């Protein structure tokens, strides 16, 4: 499980760098400053949680069950939160109005919050 969490964190970090570079070089020509700023918010949160997962994989006092719960909630959160932000920020480039699915962003945020909160609960309830 630790290897899966670590590799997922590495892949999310790698993708955050690629997506961020794409925004900085490719999207600046077709999106306005507000959309670029919104897009970069998605990249930042993706990178923060990539690092979070990498650190999670290395914490020895947390059980695999607890790690899996945190892992899956954070992974779903990143996909929903950052993914929906990417789509909303690039809305002007498509024929589909991604604002119709904008409700996904706060749901993703709730998954991220739950992942952090559950980890805090697990650590606080441990006798270290």
Share of the chain above pLDDT 70, in %: 99
- Residues 85, 105: contact at Cβ < 8 Å? yes
pTM: 0.88
User: What range defines the domain where residue 71 resides?
Assistant: 2-125
The H-or-E segment that residue 19 falls in is: helix 2-22
Q: What is the pLDDT of residue 128?
A: 64
The alpha carbon dihedral of 66, 71, 72, 76 has a sign of positive
Alpha carbon distance 123, 2 (integer Å): 17
Q: What is the pLDDT of residue 42?
A: 95
pLDDT at 24: 87
For the chain, residues with pLDDT lower than 70 are 128
Q: Give how many domains the chain has, as a whole number.
A: 1
Closest C-alpha to 5, from 61, 84, 64, 47: 64
């Amino acid at each position: 499980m630790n290897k899966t969490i670590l590799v997922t964190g590495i892949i999310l970090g790698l993708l955050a760098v690629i997506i961020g570079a794409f925004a900085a070089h490719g999207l600046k020509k077709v999106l306005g400053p507000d959309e670029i700023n919104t897009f970069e918010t998605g990249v930042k949160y993706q990178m923060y949680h990539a690092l979070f997962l990498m650190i999670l994989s290395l914490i020895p006092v947390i059980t695999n069950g607890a790690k899996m719960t945190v892992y899956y909630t954070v992974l779903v959160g990143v996909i929903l939160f950052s993914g929906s932000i990417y789509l909303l920020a690039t809305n002007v480039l498509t024929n589909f109005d991604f604002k119709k699915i904008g409700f996904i962003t706060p749901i993703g945020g709730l998954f991220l919050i739950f992942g952090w909160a559950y980890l805090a609960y697990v650590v606080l309830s441990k006798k270290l």
